[in-house]
Amino acid sequence: MLEAHARTGIRNRLLHMIALEDWDLIGPHLEAVTLKDRHVIEVPTKPITHAYFLEMGVASVVAVDAEDHRIEVGVIGFEGMTGVPLIMGDNRAQHSTYMQIGGSGHRIPQEALAAAIAKSEGLRALMLKWAQGFMIQTAHTALANGRAKLEQRLARWLLMAHDRLTTAAVPLTHEFLAVMLGVRRAGVTVAIHGFERRGLVTTRRGQLTLVDRAGIEQIAGSFYGTPEAELKRLLGGN
Amino acid sequence: MLEAHARTGIRNRLLHMIALEDWDLIGPHLEAVTLKDRHVIEVPTKPITHAYFLEMGVASVVAVDAEDHRIEVGVIGFEGMTGVPLIMGDNRAQHSTYMQIGGSGHRIPQEALAAAIAKSEGLRALMLKWAQGFMIQTAHTALANGRAKLEQRLARWLLMAHDRLTTAAVPLTHEFLAVMLGVRRAGVTVAIHGFERRGLVTTRRGQLTLVDRAGIEQIAGSFYGTPEAELKRLLGGN
DNA sequence: CTTTTGCGGTACGGTTTGGTACTGAAAAAA
DNA sequence: TTTTTTCAGTACCAAACCGTACCGCAAAAG
């Protein structure tokens, strides 16, 4: 639980943007949580018990179908929250959501969130705009999946991760990157090797560090950037 | 404009599900429209002036980036409405939306829709659930784009179109199918030829008719079906 | 009926990616 | 420290798909 005056210590953009008069609807219900690597937040078809406002780390939202095909459809960090369906009035998880890079955050029970959204129009508007931003991200993931090459998609992912981290180090194995991008592990290895050879990243076992962000942006081209710009527009430039 | 008693003639699922007490917020603002092939409904970055409730035909929502890469991220028919961002409190079009297969519908001005959603909780809940269903569709499009083969994606698209048409004939050129799937026109031609050889479809210039829907479903596998089932769950089985 | 345009069938080389598998090395566990 | 596990590097063939292009034919326009 967080008192109103405690918000100064909060990094989460959404929590930060909650109007003072709405804070009583959210703050008292928040529970600080540590979120380790691979911590599972939502499981497909199961009820969503909490929404998580991340402070640190990166969560992956992964779509899964009946034949176990899977691919990442969105990433969430300190700029947003998990549990988008809750905002839409649905309490069933559609996708698999888990921490891709460990961190921390605050979570709120589904019931408390629903009550808060029902009571405050401002709160509802804020979260709907976040949901809209997340939709845009998913749409652009669909675009990248369909038309970008492996190297471009990898670059896009690294940039999105970097945006949500405080260091340039991305602690992740090739295996997990491959799952998220929906490609072979070996393909990721080769692509990363190419980045390394061009001086864009350095690597260690289970870790990858961005060195030349501009260079990576150049590779990603226009597959990166639109969702980020749109989220800024939706939530204001602060 | 539609009177309350005129709703019996309506095929659109969403309009049909609007509660009687909410109808006054919507019905009087509706304008019947004929929607020809390629009719443009929304243009990226421009304001959304109307939301369209389709009666017949199929609309495509196509994501576009700065380098003009494009791919379809959703299709809409009589089961839904265009202008999802309006539901989320945003009035700017993110994607390109246009009629892929001509038809008809009713449109409502953005302002009237916004006012209606603000006034009625039930109306808001209904449309939010539609938006949630559309999000799921987009996520599964991302999944199919990343992991399905051309043949599977084509099968998926044909099934989604068929769901929204009254006849088994899909009046569409290979060229447009290719744009939506984000593949070569020639690739579509070859794939359709394969379907035809297996007796799944018959073709005429600018038209394609489903013959063996079950066979097409088998090809699409689990890439088709989830969004459809989820929309049913969200909006009720009626 | 003739002309023009757009659509579909086909081809070919090149690139990208998948499937699979083996290996050495780094990190974690014993 | 030794053993076990996990991860990254690499290789090979096959399949899928792209870029491009040409040509004949159907449908629309004149």
**Residue B41 φ then ψ, to 5°:** -105, -40
B187 CA to chain A: closest CA distance, Å? 14
pLDDT digits (tens, 9 = 90+) for B30-64: 999 999 999 999 999 999 999 999 999 999 999 99
pLDDT digits (tens, 9 = 90+) for B128-147: 999 999 999 999 999 999 99
Report, as an integer, the average pLDDT of B170-199: 97
Asked if strand D contacts B187 at the CB level, meaning under 7 A, the answer is: yes
Pair B25, B111: CB distance under 8 Å: no
Asked if strand C contacts A206 at the CB level, meaning under 7 A, the answer is: yes
Joined tokens for residue A100: 């891709």
The residues in A 10-69 lying below 8 A from B, measured between CB atoms, are 63, 65-67, 69
| Mean per-residue pLDDT of chain B | 95
Nearest CA in chain B to A45: B230
Helices B110-119 and B121-147: crossing angle, nearest 10°? 120
Asked if strand C contacts A182 at the CB level, meaning under 7 A, the answer is: yes
Q: Nearest CA to B21 among B7, B36, B4, B35?
A: B4
Residue B116's H or E segment, with its range, is helix B110-119
Check residue A2 and give its pLDDT.
59
pLDDT digits (tens, 9 = 90+) for A95-137: 999 999 999 999 999 999 999 999 999 999 999 999 999 999 9
Joined tokens for residue B127: 């449309």
Check residue A1 and give its pLDDT.
58
* Measured distance CA(A86)–CA(B212) in Å, rounded: 39
Within 8 A of B132 by CB-CB distance, chain A residues are 85, 88-90
Check residue A7 and give its pLDDT.
72
Pair B140, B133: CB distance under 8 Å: no
* Measured distance CA(A72)–CA(A95) in Å, rounded: 9
Give alpha helix (H) positions in A44-173: 84-87, 110-119, 121-147, 150-163
* Measured distance CA(A187)–CA(A171) in Å, rounded: 18
* Measured distance CA(B165)–CA(B108) in Å, rounded: 23
Using DSSP's 3-state secondary structure scheme, residue A118 falls into helix
A133 in contact with B, Cβ within 8 Å: no
Using DSSP's 3-state secondary structure scheme, residue A155 falls into helix
Beta-bridge partner residues of B169: B209
pLDDT digits (tens, 9 = 90+) for A95-105: 999 999 999 99
Beta-bridge partner residues of B71: B63
Asked if strand C contacts A151 at the CB level, meaning under 7 A, the answer is: yes
Using DSSP's 3-state secondary structure scheme, residue A112 falls into helix
A89 in contact with B, Cβ within 8 Å: yes
* Measured distance CA(A209)–CA(A174) in Å, rounded: 13
A226 in contact with B, Cβ within 8 Å: yes
* Measured distance CA(B175)–CA(A57) in Å, rounded: 43
Tell me how crowded residue A88 is: count the other CB atoms within 10 A of its CB.
Answer: 23
The alpha carbon of residue B22 and the mean position of all alpha carbons in its chain are separated, in whole angstroms, by 24
Whether B4 shows a pLDDT value over 60: the answer reads no
Question: CB distance A223–B132 less than 8 Å?
Answer: no
Please report, to the nearest 10 degrees, the dihedral formed by the alpha carbons of residues A205, A208, A212, A214 taken in order: 150
Whether B106 shows a pLDDT value over 60: the answer reads yes
* Measured distance CA(B39)–CA(A84) in Å, rounded: 32
Res. B6 pLDDT band, cuts 50 70 90? low
A156 in contact with B, Cβ within 8 Å: no
Give alpha helix (H) positions in chain A: 13-17, 23-26, 84-87, 110-119, 121-147, 150-163, 174-181, 185-197, 213-220, 226-235
DSSP, res A55: E
Residue ranges in chain A whose pLDDT is less than 70: 1-6, 237-238
Residues 6+ apart with CB under 8 A from B77: B54, B57, B58, B59, B163, B164, B165
pLDDT digits (tens, 9 = 90+) for B69-82: 999 999 999 999 99
Check residue A19 and give its pLDDT.
93
Pair B78, B55: CB distance under 8 Å: yes
Whether B170 shows a pLDDT value over 90: the answer reads yes
